[in-house]
Amino acid sequence: MERTLKKKISLYLKACFFLLFINTVTSEESEDINFGIVIHGGAGSYENLSPKKEKAYKDGVNEALIKGYEILKSGGTSVEAVTEAVSILEDFSLFNAGKGSVYTSKETQEMDASIMNGLNGMAGAVASVSTIKNPIRLARAVMEKSPHVLLVGEGAENFAKQNNIKTVDPSYFHSEKNLQRVRELKKDNKLGTVGAIALDKQGNLAAATSTGGRSNKMPGRVGDSPILGAGTWAENGLCAVSGTGHGEYFMRQLTAAEVCNKMKYLQMSLEDAANAVVERLSKTGAAGGIIALDSKGKISTPFNTAGMVRGMYSREGGKTIKIYKED
């Protein structure tokens, strides 16, 4: 009886030491990871920005960076971080996503968004939605609460109601400035698309992108933002990418996934791979840029336009916000 009791105690103590060892190793590993988040507010023509307007762009990115980084620092997932960061940008009328979405040629809004989890390859996307306050939240619901990847239009909005995703009256998105731009200029000069990528303490990557699309676009037009591999991609051990620019080119070239593929098959560094895909965009006449983050926390943000609002916040690198190449 006594021998049996001693044996049980010995086994119990061994189990405790084993769990303590595992927790210690896990803790040390998480401390070694350069977790962080990278955000963009769109690439485009940023010439002649007033100091006030420039500050407004940076303030929006700063708020999203702080929120995302706080989630990561407290042990939250990369999926949670990119969701909340993009949601904040969607609530800023300054950016072409959510509340700031531009008008179609029929003077309506049609928004797109996608999100991808690098841990398991799961993803969700929505396109051509007009009453969703935060399309990125709906995209995440598609990923986590449906067997599908992409829902569009009325079907997506019905799914939102079924899953308590906040909807609003279309008047919420009204902007006299954006409307006049469509009526008078009949061209796309609104800086567009927002996105976020993150690496969490567990080493998992995630990416999210949201947009109002191109100003004066044909109703029903869908760009790269909700298309996995084109505007959004995340793959553990490689990289997470979010793009901004001429969506048709991003779709033809699968720009986001191509960064990871160059790293995987050509053994290129993140920096070289990211620069290569943007150089290809330039050669085909496309304007735009990407933000990219690898599994070691390295960051690359190449673009071929006058500017791209972007920010990064990592454990080792601290926080930085830029607009121009020379910043």
Q: What is the CATH number of the domain that holds 253?
A: 3.60.20.30
Does residue 15 form part of some domain? no
CA distance 122 to 116: 6
In this model, does residue 155 exceed pLDDT 50? Answer: yes
User: What pLDDT was estimated at residue 157?
Assistant: 98
CA distance 319 to 306: 22
In this model, does residue 263 exceed pLDDT 90? Answer: yes
Q: What is the pLDDT of residues 264-289, one digit of tens each?
A: 999 999 999 999 999 999 999 999 99
Q: What is the pLDDT of residues 80-98, one digit of tens each?
A: 999 999 999 999 999 999 9
User: What pLDDT was estimated at residue 19?
Assistant: 45
Share of the chain above pLDDT 90, in %: 80
User: What pLDDT was estimated at residue 176?
Assistant: 86
Report if pTM > 0.85: yes
User: What pLDDT was estimated at residue 281?
Assistant: 97
pLDDT grade for 182, boundaries at 50, 70 and 90: confident
310 vs 25 pLDDT, higher one: 310
User: What pLDDT was estimated at residue 3?
Assistant: 58
CA-closest candidate to residue 103, choices 170, 47, 194: 170
User: What pLDDT was estimated at residue 7?
Assistant: 58
User: What pLDDT was estimated at residue 184?
Assistant: 76
> Per the structure block, which two tokens stand in for 279?
């150089």
Does residue 1 form part of some domain? no
Calculate the average pLDDT of the chain: 91
Q: Which of 193, 232, 244, 305 is catalytic?
A: 193
C-alpha distances (whole Å) from 110 to each of 143, 212, 236 are 20, 6, 31
Active site residue 193: yes
> Per the structure block, which two tokens stand in for 4?
């049996």
24 vs 229 pLDDT, higher one: 229
pLDDT grade for 185, boundaries at 50, 70 and 90: low
User: What pLDDT was estimated at residue 46?
Assistant: 82
Does residue 185 form part of some domain? yes
Does residue 22 form part of some domain? no
Does residue 29 form part of some domain? no
Q: What is the pLDDT of residues 14-54, one digit of tens each?
A: 554 544 444 444 444 456 899 999 999 999 878 778 999 99
Domain that includes residue 281, residue range: 34-322
The dihedral over CA atoms of 85, 89, 91, 248, expressed in degrees to the nearest 10, equals -120
Contacts 24+ apart (CB under 8 A), 139-145: 139/113, 139/114, 139/115, 139/208, 139/210, 139/226, 140/79, 140/83, 140/115, 140/208, 141/165, 143/115, 143/116, 143/117
In this model, does residue 134 exceed pLDDT 80? Answer: yes
Beta strands, E only, 185-224: 194-199, 205-211
In this model, does residue 116 exceed pLDDT 90? Answer: yes
29 vs 158 pLDDT, higher one: 158
Does residue 62 form part of some domain? yes
Does residue 202 form part of some domain? yes
In this model, does residue 8 exceed pLDDT 70? Answer: no
In this model, does residue 136 exceed pLDDT 50? Answer: yes
Q: What is the pLDDT of residues 99-114, one digit of tens each?
A: 999 999 899 999 999 9
Instruction: Give the orientation angle of helix 78-90 with respect to helix 135-145, to 10 degrees.
Output: 150
Does residue 21 form part of some domain? no
User: What pLDDT was estimated at residue 4?
Assistant: 59
In this model, does residue 231 exceed pLDDT 80? Answer: yes
User: What pLDDT was estimated at residue 247?
Assistant: 95
> What domain count does the chain have?
1
